[in-house]
Amino acid sequence: MTAIPTLDGLSNVADRYDLILCDVWGVLHDGQKAHEPAGAALIRFRGLSGDRPRRVILVSNAPRPGDGVGRILDRFGVPREAYDAILTSGDLTRGLIAQRPGARIRHLGPERDLGIFQDLDLSLVPEGEADLVVCTGLFDDRSETEEDYREELTRCATRGLPMICANPDLVVESGDRLIPCAGLLAAAYAEIGGTVVYAGKPHRPVYEAALGKGADLTGAPVDPTRVLAIGDAIRTDIAGASGFGIASLLVARGIHAGELGVTAAHHRLGDVAEWLGRQAVHPDAVIERLVW
């Protein structure tokens, strides 16, 4: 494997890019508070001088519309000056549901995600009346696992119900814990023969939508060679960028922190080559935290 550089800061490579597609959870915040240097780094990027406008689109697998994510970022203290737009898997999910007017939906997920259905032509119904499953997460992601859903998932798969997974993440960081996400239930559903449509990273439609939004922001098509994806998850952020053909930067102090040796007990980023060598995809560079 070609050696992967470790960056001291985004400034090492910022001049190469016009558009950053930045992950949210694990990069800009930890589920409880903002990572202030990350927001500051994106502000510095957007303010770079030159002929090319610099834009930042936050691309999140959050199972809620982008405006809802924006309000959460406000509460956490992520400055609005750090980004130009937000694109979420919730936005893509709403688009998929809109293609099925009158859908009878079994929602798997907590009440806090119900905003994803607002103003759409659908009915939320019990499992036995559904013709579509939309999974935004676990009802109680602090105590449940995918095994708690195995029987219902089996019944839905037997009936041939398609599932839209509104958050392909398997886990996210929350403080010092990893919280299970909808991707775990979707993986279990696929394993027992269910059909799953994924809305979000690492799947191609979210990147097509992001570059389209970037073109709207700049008034011109986006050159993919001048796009950088930043994220903390190999399976979604880095694999998605690799599959779409854009550069990527892995934030080590995120969901892979323990594997990479940047836990609370080990403050410095060590040699990550061995761990990266065992991964199916590789970033173009690694950074401990997103800083300028």
Q: What is the dihedral of CA 20, 21, 22, 23, to 10 degrees?
A: -170
Question: Are residues 31 and 105 both part of a single domain?
Answer: no
Question: Are residues 103 and 129 both part of a single domain?
Answer: yes
Give the residue carrying structure tokens 């930043």: 230
Question: Are residues 187 and 219 both part of a single domain?
Answer: no
Contact 230, 248 (CB under 8 A): yes
Question: Are residues 173 and 254 both part of a single domain?
Answer: no
> What type of residue is 234?
I
DSSP 148-184: GGHHHHHHHHHTT--EEES---SEEEETTEEEE-HHH
Distance in angstroms (rounded) separating the CA atoms of residues 169 and 118: 23
Q: How many domains are there within the chain?
A: 2
Check residue 260 and give its pLDDT: 73
Give the residue carrying structure tokens 């602090």: 142
Question: Are residues 86 and 152 both part of a single domain?
Answer: no
Q: Which residues pair with 69 in a beta bridge?
A: none
Check residue 69 and give its pLDDT: 93
Per-residue pLDDT of the chain (292 residues; tens, 9 = 90+): 678 888 999 999 999 999 999 999 889 998 889 999 999 999 999 999 888 899 999 999 999 999 999 999 999 999 999 999 999 999 999 999 999 999 999 999 999 999 999 999 999 999 999 999 999 999 998 888 889 999 999 999 999 999 999 999 888 766 667 788 999 999 999 999 999 999 999 999 999 999 999 999 999 999 999 999 999 999 999 999 999 999 999 998 877 877 776 655 544 555 677 788 888 899 999 998 999 9
Question: Are residues 152 and 215 both part of a single domain?
Answer: no
Distance in angstroms (rounded) separating the CA atoms of residues 209 and 88: 10
> Is the residue at 152 inside a domain?
yes
Contact 224, 207 (CB under 8 A): no
Q: Which residues pair with 287 in a beta bridge?
A: 7, 251
Question: Are residues 215 and 86 both part of a single domain?
Answer: yes
Question: Are residues 131 and 184 both part of a single domain?
Answer: yes
Distance in angstroms (rounded) separating the CA atoms of residues 2 and 284: 10
Q: What is the biggest distance separating any 2 CA atoms in the chain, rounded to whole angstroms?
A: 58
Distance in angstroms (rounded) separating the CA atoms of residues 28 and 40: 10
> Is the residue at 292 inside a domain?
no
User: Which two structure tokens, joined as six digits, stand for 68?
Assistant: 């809802």
Q: Identify the domain boundary among 164, 198, 232.
A: 198
Distance in angstroms (rounded) separating the CA atoms of residues 22 and 92: 17
Contact 121, 102 (CB under 8 A): yes
R_g (Cα) of the chain, nearest Å: 19
Distance in angstroms (rounded) separating the CA atoms of residues 106 and 248: 36
3-state secondary structure of 248: strand
Q: Identify the domain boundary among 198, 231, 260.
A: 198
> What type of residue is 159?
R
Check residue 263 and give its pLDDT: 56
Angle ∠(42,46,49) on CA atoms, nearest 5: 135
Question: Are residues 134 and 220 both part of a single domain?
Answer: no
Give the residue carrying structure tokens 């609005």: 80
Question: Are residues 269 and 135 both part of a single domain?
Answer: no
Distance in angstroms (rounded) separating the CA atoms of residues 28 and 116: 22
3-state secondary structure of 189: helix
Question: Are residues 83 and 210 both part of a single domain?
Answer: yes
Residue-range definition of the domain harbouring residue 106: 92-198
Question: Are residues 96 and 192 both part of a single domain?
Answer: yes
Domain with 172 in it: what CATH number? 3.40.50.1000
Q: Which residues pair with 22 in a beta bridge?
A: 58, 230
Its pTM surpasses 0.75 = yes
3-state secondary structure of 106: strand
Q: Identify the domain boundary among 198, 221, 251.
A: 198
